[in-house]
Amino acid sequence: MKDNIKLTSVKLIKGLYDNFKVKTVNSEMSLQKLTNRALDLYLQEEKFREKIETSKNLSISGSNF
């Protein structure tokens, strides 16, 4: 199992992460689950990929969020 896992670090927008924690406090959803599922959908579903690539809800910063 260890060979199938890639440890990485990412910078998150604090407000978004805080809102995520509040929304998921009573659920089984975790940031790890969300990330893995989003990566899978991005790779498998063209409509999801287009939606992510064209999202304008976040402002560009020095870290290119």
The domains of the chain are located at 2-54
Structure tokens at 63: 């870290």
Q: Amino acid identity of 5?
A: I
Who's near 42: CB < 8 A, 6+ residues apart? 48, 49, 52
For residue 58, give the nearest of 13, 1, 11, 2 by alpha carbon.
13
pLDDT value at position 60? 57
DSSP 28: S
Whether the predicted pLDDT of 1 surpasses 90: no
Tell me the per-residue pLDDT of 6-63, one tens digit each, with 9 for 90 and over.
999 999 999 999 999 999 999 999 999 999 999 999 999 999 999 999 998 876 565 5
Is this model's pTM higher than 0.75 or not? yes
pLDDT value at position 3? 83
